[in-house]
C-alpha cells in the first residue's frame, strides 16, 4: 500500500514556512492537507495552500497553536488520519502525542515515551550517560534554590551556562561569566523557560571553551532500525540561536563522524526512538574536532529548522521519510547506503534589526522577492503584502544553497542574499551577506562566539546614514511632488492636462533653480538638495558623502508617503518632513522617555513613580517572540511617569517609563 492509502489525510499543527514545507511533500504524495490557523494567520500562505483550513482561536499561541484540545477537535471533524506537528509549538509535547494515539490519529513523530525521556535536559543527560554517551560536566539535579545553584556554579567554575531543562532554540539559556551576575541570569532563564515551555526548572553546566555546535540527524523506524544522516554544523549562533547552518561540518574527519554518529544512534536506541530526531553535541574546538572532545547537549525529538541542508547533500526528503515511518514502513536503506554529495548552507532570514541589538521587527511586507538560481532553494511562509506580527517567530525565509564544494555553496548563498529584496520590517539580510563573506568563517577556525566577537565588522551596531539610499528616495519623492503639482494644475486649467508654465513640464525660459528638500530619514531630520543639470537631477546631502558604487538600490512604496530604499541589504525609510507631526517627547531632548523598542508584552516593571534611579539601572522587561529585552535608565533621574502596567501589550515606541530630573 502507498502512503496515501495508509495515511490519506494529514493535519499540520503548525504555521508559516514549516506548514508550507509539509504541505508540498504531502501534495506530492497525494495526501489531503488540512491546516489550522489563528486569527493572525487567516490570510496566510499556508492556509491558501492547504486543501482545507480551520480557525482555532485568537492570535496568542497559547489560545491557538498550543491548544491541543482545539487541534484534536479539528482533526476529528476533518477526518485527519495523521497530525504533523512541525517544529516548536506542540512538536515535543508528549501529552499531545499520547492524546493523538488515544484518539486513533497517527502522530508524525516519536512515541510519547521517547519525547518524555529526551524532553527534559537533566533526565536526558542521565539517560545517555548510561548508554556511554559523553555529557558536559555540570549540575543536572532537582534542587532549584538560588543559593544552591549559585554554589554549584562556583564548584563547576565560571563561565557557566544556565539552561531551562525543557528548553530549546536558545530560550531560557544564559551564559554567566561572573558570580555577581548569576542571580539575575537565573531569574531570567527561569522566567523564559516558564513562558516558552511551561517549566521554569534549570540546569547549570560548564561553558565549553571555543565551542563548536555539531548535531547528528538520526532516523528510526518501528522495526528497530536506527541510522544517522551525517552531521550539521550550527556554530554560527547569536544568543544561542542558530543563524547559519551547514553540512557537512567544516574540518570533520571520518573517525570523529563515526564516533558522533555512533553516540547519536546509541542515544536514540536507548529511548526506542522512531522518526526524525537530532542529537546535538557541543565540541571543544580549540584543536579542531576530536573524537574525545565532544559532549551530548540534548536531543530534539522532531524535525529541525535546518533539515534542508541534510536533504541537499543526501537527496532525501525528510518529511517523506517521516510519513513513511509514521505509516509503519521500515527504512528502505542501511547506514552503509547513506551517501553525501557536495556541501549545503542555510541562512535564516529574520525580521529583526541587527543595528539595534537584533530587536524583533514587525509590520507589512511591502516588497518580497527571492532569486531563482542554480543550487538555491527558498523555504518561506510569507509573500509580499503579508504582515510580520509580534505573536510568533519572526522568520521570513530560509535560503539554502548547495554546491560541489563549501566555497561554491557559500558563494551561491552570498549571491542569493544579494539578490533578495525585503521591504517593510527591518531584517538581518545585510548581516547574513557579510557573514557569508567573513574571512574567519570562510577560512576558519570558528566557534559559537564568532558572531559576538565580530559583531562590529558584521554590521551589528548602529551604521552611518546610507546617503546613496536617501538620494534615490529623495528623487522619487520629488518626482511624486511634481506629478501632484501637474495633476492639481490640470484640474484648474479647464481640463487641459498640461501647461507650458509648469516646472514639471521640462519647458523653461530660465535654468531650473536648485531645490531644498526637508526629509525624515529613519525618524531623523535630514536636508537634501536637488540640482538639475543637462545629464539630469543630482542629489547632495550636506555633511554626507554619497557612494555612487555599482550596488543597485531598490525602492518600495510604504505607508503614509514613505519610500523604503534597499541598498546592500539595508533598508532606509525616507519621507518628506512634516513639521506638524513632530514627536514632542523626543523634541524635549531630555533623554528621559524610555520607550518599548518593539511590539511585545511588558512582563516586569521594577520602578514606580517617585523612585530615584541611576544610569544603567533595570527599569522594565519587554518580551517579544518568547525572548526578553531589558530596558535600562539612560541617565540618573527620578521616575515621573509610568506608561504601562505589567502584563500589558505595548506597541513599538510606546512610553514605558518617563524620567524627570
Do β-strands 202-206 and 226-238 pair in parallel, antiparallel, or remain unpaired?
Answer: unpaired
Q: Is there a contact between 218 and 281 (Cβ–Cβ < 8 Å)?
A: no
Tell me how far apart the alpha carbons of residues 344 and 248 are, in angstroms, rounded to a whole number: 7
H helices then E strands: how many in the chain? 18, 37
Do β-strands 655-660 and 593-595 pair in parallel, antiparallel, or remain unpaired?
Answer: antiparallel
SS3 404: coil
Tell me how far apart the alpha carbons of residues 58 and 66 are, in angstroms, rounded to a whole number: 11
Tell me how far apart the alpha carbons of residues 268 and 220 are, in angstroms, rounded to a whole number: 8
Q: Is there a contact between 658 and 639 (Cβ–Cβ < 8 Å)?
A: yes
Tell me how far apart the alpha carbons of residues 245 and 406 are, in angstroms, rounded to a whole number: 12
Q: Which three three-digit cell numbers place residue 137?
A: 560536566
Tell me how far apart the alpha carbons of residues 383 and 464 are, in angstroms, rounded to a whole number: 30
Tell me how far apart the alpha carbons of residues 82 and 11 are, in angstroms, rounded to a whole number: 6
Catalytic residue among 32, 238, 302, 412: 302
Burial 208-235 (b: 16+ CB within 10 A, else e): bebbbbbbbbbbbbeeebbbbbbbbbbb
How far are the Cα atoms of 236, 429, 476, 523, 575 from residue 557, in angstroms, in the given order?
34, 19, 10, 17, 10
DSSP string, 533-551: ETTEEEEEBTTB-----S-
Tell me how far apart the alpha carbons of residues 351 and 413 are, in angstroms, rounded to a whole number: 19
Backbone torsions φ then ψ of 123, nearest 5 degrees: -65, -40
Place of cell 493535519: 11
Tell me how far apart the alpha carbons of residues 329 and 236 are, in angstroms, rounded to a whole number: 36
Place of cell 489550522: 36
Strand ordering across the sheet containing 627-632: 627-632, 618-624, 600-605, 649-650
Quick check: is 512 catalytic?
A: no
Q: Is there a contact between 103 and 72 (Cβ–Cβ < 8 Å)?
A: yes
Tell me how far apart the alpha carbons of residues 507 and 527 are, in angstroms, rounded to a whole number: 27
Tell me how far apart the alpha carbons of residues 378 and 308 are, in angstroms, rounded to a whole number: 10
How far are the Cα atoms of 103, 264, 488, 504, 516 from residue 493, in angstroms, in the given order?
75, 80, 9, 15, 28
Residue positions annotated with a catalytic role: 302
Amino acid at each position: 500500500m502507498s502512503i496515501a492509502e495508509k495515511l490519506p489525510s494529514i493535519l499540520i499543527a503548525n504555521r508559516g514556512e514549516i506548514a508550507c514545507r509539509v504541505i508540498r511533500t504531502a501534495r506530492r504524495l497525494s495526501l489531503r492537507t488540512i491546516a489550522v490557523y489563528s486569527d493572525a494567520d487567516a490570510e496566510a500562505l499556508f492556509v491558501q495552500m492547504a486543501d482545507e483550513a480551520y480557525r482555532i482561536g485568537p492570535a496568542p499561541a497559547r489560545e491557538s497553536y498550543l491548544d491541543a484540545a482545539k487541534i484534536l477537535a479539528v482533526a476529528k471533524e476533518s477526518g485527519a488520519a495523521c497530525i504533523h506537528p512541525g517544529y516548536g509549538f506542540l512538536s515535543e509535547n508528549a501529552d499531545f502525542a499520547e492524546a493523538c494515539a488515544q484518539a486513533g490519529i497517527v502522530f508524525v513523530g516519536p512515541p510519547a515515551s521517547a519525547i518524555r525521556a529526551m524532553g527534559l535536559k537533566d533526565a536526558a543527560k542521565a539517560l545517555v550517560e548510561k548508554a556511554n554517551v559523553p555529557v558536559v560536566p555540570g549540575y543536572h539535579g532537582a534542587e532549584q534554590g538560588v543559593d544552591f545553584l549559585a554554589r554549584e556554579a562556583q564548584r563547576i567554575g565560571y563561565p557557566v551556562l544556565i539552561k531551562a531543562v525543557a528548553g530549546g532554540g536558545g530560550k531560557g539559556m544564559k551564559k554567566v561569566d561572573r558570580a555577581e551576575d548569576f542571580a539575575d541570569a537565573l531569574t531570567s532563564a527561569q522566567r523564559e523557560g516558564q513562558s516558552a515551555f511551561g517549566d521554569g526548572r534549570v540546569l547549570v553546566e560548564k561553558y565549553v571553551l571555543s565551542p563548536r555546535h555539531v548535531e547528528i540527524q538520526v532516523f528510526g523506524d518501528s522495526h528497530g532500525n536506527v541510522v544517522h544522516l551525517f552531521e550539521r554544523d550550527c556554530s554560527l549562533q547569536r544568543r544561542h540561536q542558530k543563524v547559519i547552518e551547514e553540512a557537512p561540518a567544516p574540518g570533520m574527519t571520518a573517525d570523529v563522524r563515526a564516533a558522533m554518529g555512533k553516540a547519536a544512534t546509541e542515544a536514540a536506541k536507548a529511548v526506542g526512538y522512531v522518526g526524525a530526531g537530532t542529537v546535538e553535541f557541543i565540541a571543544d574546538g580549540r584543536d579542531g574536532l576530536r573524537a574525545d572532545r565532544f559532549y551530548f547537549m540534548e536531543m530534539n525529538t522532531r524535525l529541525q529548522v535546518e533539515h534542508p541542508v541534510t536533504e541537499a547533500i543526501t537527496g532525501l526528503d525528510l518529511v517523506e521519510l517521516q510519513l513513511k515511518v509514521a505509516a509503519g514502513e521500515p527504512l528502505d536503506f542501511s547506514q552503509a547506503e547513506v551517501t553525501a554529495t557536495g556541501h549545503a548552507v542555510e541562512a535564516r532570514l529574520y525580521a529583526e534589526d541587527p543595528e539595534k541589538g537584533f530587536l524583533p521587527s514587525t509590520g507589512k511586507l511591502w516588497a518580497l522577492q527571492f532569486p531563482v538560481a542554480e543550487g538555491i532553494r527558498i523555504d518561506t511562509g510569507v509573500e509580499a503584502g503579508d504582515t510580520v506580527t509580534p505573536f510568533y517567530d519572526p522568520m521570513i525565509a530560509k535560503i539554502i544553497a548547495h554546491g560541489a564544494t563549501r566555497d561554491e555553496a557559500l558563494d551561491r548563498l552570498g549571491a542569493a542574499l544579494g539578490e533578495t529584496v525585503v521591504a517593510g520590517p527591518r531584517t538581518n539580510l545585510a548581516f547574513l551577506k557579510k557573514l557569508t563573506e567573513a574571512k574567519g568563517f570562510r577560512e576558519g577556525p570558528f566557534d559559537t562566539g564568532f558572531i559576538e566577537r565580530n559583531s562590529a565588522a558584521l554590521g551589528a551596531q548602529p551604521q552611518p546614514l546610507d546617503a546613496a539610499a536617501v538620494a534615490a528616495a529623495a528623487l522619487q519623492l520629488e518626482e511624486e511632488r511634481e506629478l501632484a503639482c501637474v495633476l492639481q494644475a490640470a484640474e484648474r486649467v479647464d481640463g487641459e492636462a498640461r501647461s507650458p508654465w509648469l516646472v514639471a513640464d521640462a519647458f523653461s525660459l530660465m535654468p531650473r533653480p536648485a531645490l531644498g528638500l526637508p526629509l525624515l530619514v529613519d525618524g531623523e531630520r535630514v536636508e537634501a538638495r536637488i540640482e538639475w543639470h543637462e545629464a539630469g537631477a543630482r542629489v547632495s546631502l550636506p555633511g554626507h558623502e554619497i557612494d555612487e558604487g555599482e550596488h543597485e538600490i531598490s525602492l518600495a512604496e510604504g505607508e503614509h508617503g514613505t519610500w523604503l530604499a534597499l541598498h546592500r541589504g539595508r533598508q532606509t525609510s525616507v519621507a518628506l518632513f512634516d513639521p506638524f507631526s513632530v514627536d514632542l517627547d523626543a523634541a524635549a531632548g531630555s533623554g528621559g522617555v524610555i520607550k518599548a523598542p518593539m511590539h511585545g508584552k511588558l512582563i516586569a516593571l521594577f520602578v514606580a513613580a517617585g523612585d530615584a534611579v541611576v544610569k544603567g539601572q533595570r527599569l522594565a522587561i519587554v518580551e517579544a517572540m518568547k525572548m526578553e529585552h531589558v530596558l535600562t535608565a539612560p541617565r540618573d533621574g527620578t521616575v515621573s511617569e509610568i506608561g504601562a502596567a505589567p502584563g500589558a501589550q505595548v506597541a513599538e515606541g510606546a512610553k514605558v517609563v518617563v524620567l524627570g530630573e
